[in-house]
């Protein structure tokens, strides 16, 4: 079932990018080649970020292409300059990946929750409450990797594996982003025995990243984002991206 979802994501990704590039007006920054952005494949928030950025770049009259990689590799490739930037991350990644600069206006927000087996007594309200517990996180989700440093952590490549470990009691609690966790549980028969705490353990804005060689693009892209935020176009773009993701979910689960 995961392969069906991944194929759907890949198909929508390729068709939407091709359509967007084909309809871009002439670039306004003496641009001869499209801006190439790295993105994390199989990560729902990057799928959404991809769709939102197509509108942002189109409004900025800049051609854009996307290159998918595993999550960590996407950051590495962007930092090394193989790509001109990366779709979106939390601000703190620039402390480690020093060649990357943020576009100051947030692109979207991530919200993360603690997931657990129904029937377990869970009193987690902060990261420090996870000490002494067996905790599962997703590889490449830097906020969780940083917050659980020094803890008993099991790192896995995807949400299907994360919830499998929770189900078979290899871990006590799992940390996951709301959208991809929802996606995974929607097609997982184990979902009826897994619940989440009502309050997020983490939430943060995600910022579009550019390699420092493209520093001159930060201001025009931020100007577009600010304008889109002010007149509501950014919120509408976020909702359209989420609806597109949900449509894919519905088709996969049918």
Q: Which segments in the chain show pLDDT lower than 70?
A: 1-31, 42, 248-254
- What pLDDT score does 183 carry? 78
**Domain 110-202, CATH homologous superfamily name and number:** Periplasmic binding protein-like II (3.40.190.10)
Q: DSSP labels for 118-133?
A: TT------SGGGGTTS
Q: To which residue do tokens 């997982």 refer?
A: 188
Q: Tokens representing 145?
A: 């990797």
How crowded is residue 229: how many other Cβ atoms within 10 Å of its Cβ?
Answer: 13
Helix locations, 60-150, DSSP H: 71-79, 93-96, 142-147
How crowded is residue 218: how many other Cβ atoms within 10 Å of its Cβ?
Answer: 18
CA atoms within 13 A on the CB side of 85: 26
Each residue's pLDDT tens digit, 222-241: 999 999 999 999 999 999 99
Q: How far apart are CA 169 and CA 163, in angstroms?
A: 10
- What pLDDT score does 10 carry? 47
Q: To which residue do tokens 């995961």 refer?
A: 2
φ, ψ dihedrals at 230, nearest 5°:
-65, -40
| Ranges of each domain in the chain | 2-108+206-253, 110-202
CA atoms within 13 A on the CB side of 186: 18
CATH code of 2-108+206-253, in short, is 3.40.190.10
Residue 33 class from Cβ within 10 Å (0-12 exposed, 13-18 middle, 19+ buried)?
exposed
SS3 at position 252: helix
Q: How far apart are CA 99 and CA 97, in angstroms?
A: 6
- What pLDDT score does 196 carry? 94
- What pLDDT score does 251 carry? 52
């Amino acid at each position: 079932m995961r392969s069906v979802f991944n194929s759907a994501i890949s198909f929508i990704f390729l068709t939407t990018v091709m359509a967007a590039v084909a309809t871009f007006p002439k670039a306004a920054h003496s641009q001869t080649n499209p801006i190439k952005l790295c993105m994390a494949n199989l990560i729902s928030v990057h799928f959404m970020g991809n769709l939102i950025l197509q509108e942002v770049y189109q409004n900025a009259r800049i051609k854009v292409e996307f290159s998918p990689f595993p999550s960590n590799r996407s950051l590495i490739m962007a930092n090394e300059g193989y790509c001109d930037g990366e779709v979106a991350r939390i601000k703190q990644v620039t402390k480690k990946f020093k060649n990357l600069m943020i576009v100051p206006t947030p692109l979207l927000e991530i919200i993360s929750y603690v997931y657990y087996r129904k029937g377990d007594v869970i009193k987690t309200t902060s990261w420090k409450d996870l000490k002494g517990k067996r905790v599962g996180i997703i590889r490449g989700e830097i906020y969780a990797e940083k917050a659980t440093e020094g803890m008993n952590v099991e790192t896995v490549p995807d949400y299907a594996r994360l919830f499998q470990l929770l189900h078979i009691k290899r871990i006590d609690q799992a940390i996951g982003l709301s959208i991809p966790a929802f996606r995974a549980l929607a097609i997982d028969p184990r979902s009826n025995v897994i619940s989440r705490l009502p309050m997020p353990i983490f939430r943060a804005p995600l910022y579009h990243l550019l390699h420092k060689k493209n520093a001159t693009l930060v201001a025009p892209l931020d100007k577009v984002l600010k304008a889109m935020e002010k007149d509501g176009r950014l919120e509408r773009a976020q909702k359209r991206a989420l609806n597109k993701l949900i449509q894919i979910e519905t088709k996969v689960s049918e």
